[in-house]
């Protein structure tokens, strides 16, 4: 599979709505573990403050729910362009009795927040969907509070072929096709570093995603039971981080 060039993934809200149950199954099988790992990683990097955290492209809201448990003093908002995803996320949060969460339907290219109003901006598995990542990052820059914390995680296009094939083999046919399209639409660390520099997002680190020992230790039981056990996160995912230790 030649992944030198990035291939945009077709994204239509209607299609995403059709794929919702497939994505929900994928979340329950695999991605809830990633959400827990990322939330613990963020909890160890970002000092807790009052204010608002937003998850961009929140989907069914796994990361929103995990963050709301670790940051009870924050309002955690899940933002997604799909109404059906947002309804599902709202329903799940309600069933779990979450109090400090909210969900909005919006486009990352036009964030509905005041300038410098967000203390924390996060995202997982969504950047490769955004048609103009430079514009979305510009919106992140505008909405972020002065010492705000950012953690944007996504697939990495230059994931080794053998690993891509192995992950695809664990999924059903529809999920595997969506995963391969997403990998093909994802960015490399170098591409994202260039975008971040062009947008002028200061103090942002762009790197393969590696979790601390503390984060791994907290999730070790879940990891051992996971089909993803033994896979190196740094080979599959990358992250943009700003503000570690300063928020
Ligand atoms: C692959 S899912 C990831 C969902 C979730 N973050 C997770 O990790 O499970 C990508 C999500 O991004 C949303 N999305 C795509 N383009 C978007 C846009 N321009 N603005 C807001 N959300 C968008 C989709 O509706 C979808 O729910």
- Which atom number of ligand 1 is nearest to the Cα of residue 182? 1
C-beta of 16 in contact with ligand 1 (< 6 A) = yes
Task: Delimit the domains of the chain by residue range.
Answer: 13-242
CATH for the stretch 13-242: 3.40.50.150
Predicted TM-score (pTM) of the model is: 0.94
Report how far residue 82's alpha carbon sits from residue 86's, in angstroms, rounded to the nearest whole number. Answer: 6
* pLDDT the model gives residue 38: 97
C-beta of 127 in contact with ligand 1 (< 6 A) = no
Lowest average pLDDT, out of 48-52, 86-90, 100-104, 222-226, goes to 48-52
Query: DSSP E strands: which ranges in the chain?
Result: 51-56, 74-80, 101-105, 118-124, 144-155, 204-208, 237-242
* pLDDT the model gives residue 197: 97
Q: In what order do the strands lie in the sheet with 118-124?
A: 101-105, 74-80, 51-56, 118-124, 144-155, 237-242, 204-208
H-state helical runs in 102-212? 133-143, 161-170, 173-185, 189-199
pLDDT band for position 247 (cuts 50, 70, 90): very low
pLDDT band for position 24 (cuts 50, 70, 90): confident
C-beta of 126 in contact with ligand 1 (< 6 A) = yes
Report long-range pairs for 12-15 (Cβ below 8 Å, ≥24 apart): 13/81, 13/82, 13/83
- Which atom number of ligand 1 is nearest to the Cα of residue 27? 9
């Amino acid at each position: 599979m030649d992944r030198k060039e990035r291939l945009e993934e077709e994204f239509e809200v209607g299609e995403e709505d059709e794929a919702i149950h497939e994505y929900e199954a994928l979340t329950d099988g695999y991605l809830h573990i990633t959400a827990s790992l990322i939330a613990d990683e963020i909890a160890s990097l970002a000092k807790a403050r009052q204010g608002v955290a937003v998850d961009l492209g929140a989907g069914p809201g796994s990361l929103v729910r995990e963050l709301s448990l670790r940051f009870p003093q924050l309002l955690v908002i899940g933002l997604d362009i799909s109404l059906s995803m947002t309804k599902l996320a709202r329903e799940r949060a309600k069933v779990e009795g979450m109090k400090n969460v909210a969900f909005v339907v919006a486009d990352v290219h036009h964030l509905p927040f005041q300038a410098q109003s967000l203390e924390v901006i996060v995202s997982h598995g969504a950047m490769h969907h955004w048609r103009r990542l430079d514009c979305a990052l510009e919106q992140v820059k505008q909405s972020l509070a002065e010492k705000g914390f950012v953690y944007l995680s996504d697939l990495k296009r230059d994931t080794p072929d053998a690993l891509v094939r192995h992950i695809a083999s664990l999924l059903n046919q529809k999920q595997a096709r969506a995963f391969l399209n997403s990998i093909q639409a994802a960015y490399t660390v170098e591409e994202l570093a260039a975008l971040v520099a062009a947008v002028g997002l200061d103090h942002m680190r762009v790197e393969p995603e590696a979790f601390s020992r503390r984060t791994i230790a907290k999730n070790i039981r879940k990891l051992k039971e996971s089909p993803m056990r033994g896979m190196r996160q740094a080979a599959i995912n990358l992250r943009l981080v700003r503000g570690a230790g300063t928020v």
